[in-house]
Chains A and B, each alone.
Chain A
């Protein structure tokens, strides 16, 4: 298996532009998570899905952020409009529901977003 695939690996955009981050989870995994990592706040959970349905979006910072999972093999995290404080590394992770809680998280390599 190719693991969790995120694209792009790096994104540089200007303030005010729309940014879309993409994630392909491991085939068969039914949980998908989006995290954001900064020096100040560490690795924060933004939102997670189960069977393509958003379960908990309490970590989404504000209305500028939205996430979708149209099918089991694809998810997007969109920021519109982007701001410099959104600069961070965004990670996607997936796991199987019947594994031990937390045991089987597989993370992607992340997308480093820079908003100038």
Chain B
């Protein structure tokens, strides 16, 4: 079956630092979705990517859909304490979204 690898599984950074997280899939994705889950809340959609090579920015966040359609990355620049949470990359090709463990980000002030 399809395997999705999100790395790293956790990160500890200082406020102001940039952070990059990556996802790779064993199969081709048609849509990549990046969600963020803040402590005590449900996940919220950050960025959706629909085309290979697509680069999308949302404030301090930048995400790209890999050319091979098997990978994606999310960068956060100049991190702030409210960036803490769990970040998920998932395939958005159907109504059934499979989330997994995500990547836990801790930002030290």
Question: Which A residues form the contact surface with B (CB < 8 A)?
Answer: 4, 31, 33, 35, 41-45, 48, 50, 56, 91, 93, 95, 97, 100-105, 107-110
* B93 contacts chain A at the CB level, 8 A cutoff: yes
Would you call B67 an interface residue if the criterion is a C-beta within 8 Å of the partner chain's C-beta atoms? no
* B-chain residues with CB within 8 Å of residue A95 when the two chains form the complex: 95
Shortest beta-carbon distance from A94 to chain B in Å? 11
Known: A100-B48, A102-B95, A107-B44. 6 other contacts (CB 8 A): A44-B99, A45-B98, A91-B42, A105-B43, A107-B43, A109-B40
Could you show 24 A-B contacts with beta carbons less than 8 Å apart? A33-B97, A43-B37, A43-B43, A45-B96, A45-B98, A48-B95, A48-B96, A56-B96, A100-B48, A100-B92, A101-B93, A101-B95, A102-B31, A102-B48, A102-B90, A103-B48, A103-B92, A105-B97, A107-B41, A107-B42, A109-B40, A109-B41, A110-B40, A110-B42
Interface residues of B in 1-58 (CB under 8 A from A): 31, 33, 35, 37, 40-45, 48, 50
Contacts between the two chains (Cβ within 8 Å), count: 69
Number of B interface residues in the complex (CB < 8 A): 26
- Please indicate the chain B residues that have their CB under 8 angstroms from the CB of A4 in the complex: 42
Least CB distance from B22 to A in Å reads 17
- The reply to whether the CB of B100 lies closer than 8 angstroms to some CB of chain A is yes
Contacts of A45 in B (CB 8 A): 96-99
Contact A102 B33 (CB under 8 A): yes
Cβ–Cβ contact B33 & A43, under 8 A: no
Residues of A within 8 A of B31 (CB): 100-102
Report Cα–Cα, A33/B100, bound state, in Å: 15
B66 contacts chain A at the CB level, 8 A cutoff: no
Q: How far is the CB of A9 from chain B (nearest CB, A)?
A: 9
How far is B108's CA from A98's CA once the two chains are assembled, in angstroms?
41
Mask: chain B, 88-109; 1 = CB below 8 Å from A; 0 = not: 1011111111111110000000
